[in-house]
Amino acid sequence: MSNHLTIVLSDLPAPAHWGKSAISFADETATIHLADAADRGQAVQAAARKLTSQGLRDVALVGEGWSPALQWRFACGFGEAMEPGTIQWASDGETLDAQRDAALWLKSLTHASPEALSPEVLADEVAERLSGLAPEHITTRQIVGDALLTAGWVGIHGVGRGSDRPPVLLELDYNPTGDHDAPVSVALVGKGITFDSGGYSLKPSAGMVTMKCDMGGAATVAAALKLAIRQGLSKRVKLYLCCAENLVSGHAYKLGDILHYKNGTSVEIVNTDAEGRLVLADGLIAANEAGAERIIDAATLTGAAMVAVGSDYNALFCADDLVASEALAAANAVGEGLWRLPLAPFHADKCPSAFADTANSAPVKGGGHGGASNAAGFLSRFAGTPPKGWIHLDLAGSYVAGNGLNGEGATALGLLTVTKLLLDA
C-alpha cells in the first residue's frame, strides 16, 4: 500500500463545510479546488505550501487537469529545505524528474553551510557532478588563489584574498559536437560568493545571516546546464563560475583600492559589499575571450532588484530589445517570472571615480537610486558585444524568507528560463 497521499484537481468549489479553504479531504485523497482561482498555477503552488505545512511529505498527483506546468508549480511549493519530500507525477514523469533533480541540486548547494561550501568545494562539486553526466564531452580547469592574479583575474582574486580559503575561477567546457574548434554557442557566468560578510563595508547581522545564498547565481547556471544536458543539449557551452568568500582580514581588499582588469578598465573600490560585480567582470571577460556567441550571467547581485520586482520575478537587463524579448519569451514559456528593468548606455557612467575609469558602486547605502541598473551598467563595461547578445539576470526571486508560495530558502526561480535559453540557442 502506497504511503503517498493522492492529490487531485477540481474545477468545483470546495463543499461548504470546508469554509473558504481551497483544499478538501476525503479518505486518502486531497482535492485542490480551482473554481475561484484567478491564477491556476499560483493556486496550485499555494495549495502545495498548505499541504506541506500540514506535515505531508509524500504525494501522488492523480487524475485529469494535471498539465506539466501545473505539476511543476505544485513541486515549486511542496516540501521544506531539509525535507523535500517525494512526488509521483500524473504524467511526463521523465521530464519532471529531471527538472526536480536539477532544482533540488541547486537548492542543496545554496542551503549548504558556508563552512561546508568553500569556493573550492563549490567548484569541485559542480565540476564533478556535470562531468559525470557526459565525461566524454566535458573538460574542466580551475585557477586557484594567487594563480588568479598571475592570470589577470583581479576581481575574483581581490574579493577572495581576505579569506584563508582561496578564491577559484572554474571553467567548464561542454562540447558534444566532436569538433575541437566548434564555436561556443553560449557562455554562462555565475556569481559564486559562498559567503558575503560585506568585507570592510560590513553587513549588519540581520543582513548577513542568509549570505550563504550569495552563490545562487553559480548554482542556477550550473543546474541549468545540468538540466539542459539531460534534455539533449547539442551545442557547445562554456560555464564560468566566479567563486570567492568576501571576508574581513589583514589581507582583505579595502575601500580606495584600485583593480586593473584585463580589458584595460580600472575600478576604484568604494564599497566592498558591491563585490559580486567585481567577480562577474572577470567571468564576462573570459566569456568574450572564448568568443561566445551569447553570454548569460546570473547573480544575486542587488537588493535594489528585490525592491523593484519582489520575490515573484527575477530582473532582466539587456541592451538589445530583440535579445530581451527572447529572454522574456523563454521565461513566459516555462512559467517563470522575469521583468525587464532599464539598462541604457549612460548607466555605465553612474559610478564615477576621480581615480579610476569607474568606481564599483556609488558610495552611498545600497548603491543609491537605480542601484540595480547601475550595477548592470558597471557590468556592461565588461560584457563586450557578443553577436547574439548579453543577458544579465539579477536573481531577485531566487531566495526567500518563506511565504505562501515558497518555503524558506532557495526557490530555483530562473532555472527553467536559463535551460530554455540554452536549448533554444
pLDDT band at 341 (very low <50, low <70, confident <90, very high): very high
Per-residue pLDDT, 343: 98
Mean pLDDT for 134-154 is 98
Number of C-alpha atoms within 13 angstroms, CB side, residue 269? 25
- Tell me if 311 is assigned to some domain: yes
- Mean per-residue pLDDT, 145-172: 98
pLDDT value of position 31:
97
Q: Are 325 and 389 in contact (CB under 8 A)?
A: no
Is a pLDDT exceeding 60 seen at residue 1? no
Q: Mean of the pLDDT values across residues 340-358?
A: 97
Q: Within this chain, do residues 137 and 212 fall inside the same structural domain, yes or no? A: yes
Residues 54 and 147 in one domain: no
Distance CA 289, CA 282 (A): 11
In a domain, 96, yes or no: no
Which ranges constitute the DSSP H helices of 134-215?
A: 146-151, 154-160, 205-208
Q: Over the stretch 38-53, which tens digit does the pLDDT of each residue have? A: 999 999 999 999 999 9
Together in a domain, 64 and 205: no
Query: In the predicted model, is pLDDT for residue 216 greater than 60?
Result: yes
pLDDT tens-place string over residues 187-207:
999 999 999 999 999 999 999
Same domain for 174 and 54: no
pLDDT confidence of residue 3: 86
Q: How do residues 254-276 score in pLDDT, each as one tens digit?
A: 999 999 999 999 999 999 999 99
pLDDT in tens, 66-121: 999 999 999 999 999 999 999 999 999 999 999 999 999 999 999 999 999 999 99
- Parent domain of 58: 5-91
Residue 97 lies in a domain: no
Q: Are residues 70 and 164 in the same domain?
A: no
Instruction: Indicate if 419 and 397 belong to the same structural domain.
Output: yes
Last residue of a domain, one of 49, 69, 91: 91
pLDDT cut 70: percent of the chain above it: 100
Question: Of the residues 91, 115, 145, which one is the last residue of a structural domain?
Answer: 91
- pLDDT over 80 at 153, yes or no: yes
For residue 33, CA distances in Å to 11, 19, 42, 62, 66 come to 6, 12, 12, 14, 13
DSSP 3-state of 318: coil
Residues 55 and 109 in one domain: no
- pLDDT for 21-41, tens place per residue? 899 999 899 999 999 899 999
Same domain membership, residue 124 and residue 243: yes
| Domain-located, residue 54 | yes
- Please list the active-site residues: 203, 277
Write 101-104 long-range contacts (CB < 8 A, 24+): 102/223, 102/224, 102/226, 102/227, 102/230, 102/412, 102/415, 102/419, 103/75, 103/223, 103/412, 103/415
* 99 located within any domain: no
Q: How far is CA 105 from the centre of its chain?
A: 12
Q: What is the CATH number of the domain that holds 74?
A: 3.40.220.10
Residues 124 and 16 in one domain: no
Final residue in a domain of this structure, among 60, 91, 122 = 91
Considering the domain architecture, whether residues 357 and 272 belong to the same structural domain is answered as yes
Residue 356 lies inside a defined structural domain of this protein: yes
Phi first, then psi, for residue 268 (nearest 5°) are -85, 135
CATH number at residue 362: 3.40.630.10
Domain count, the chain: 2
Domain assignment present for 53: yes
Q: Helix or strand or coil: residue 237?
A: strand
Q: Are residues 168 and 195 in the same domain?
A: yes
Query: Is the predicted pLDDT of residue 397 greater than 80, yes or no?
Result: yes
Note whether 127 and 183 are same-domain residues.
yes
Q: Could you give the percent of the chain with pLDDT greater than 90?
A: 96
Q: What is the pLDDT of residues 354-379, one digit of tens each?
A: 999 999 999 887 778 999 999 999 99
Query: Is residue 141 one of the residues assigned to a domain?
Result: yes
pLDDT at position 363: 85
Nearest to 416 by CA among 80, 119, 75, 187: 75
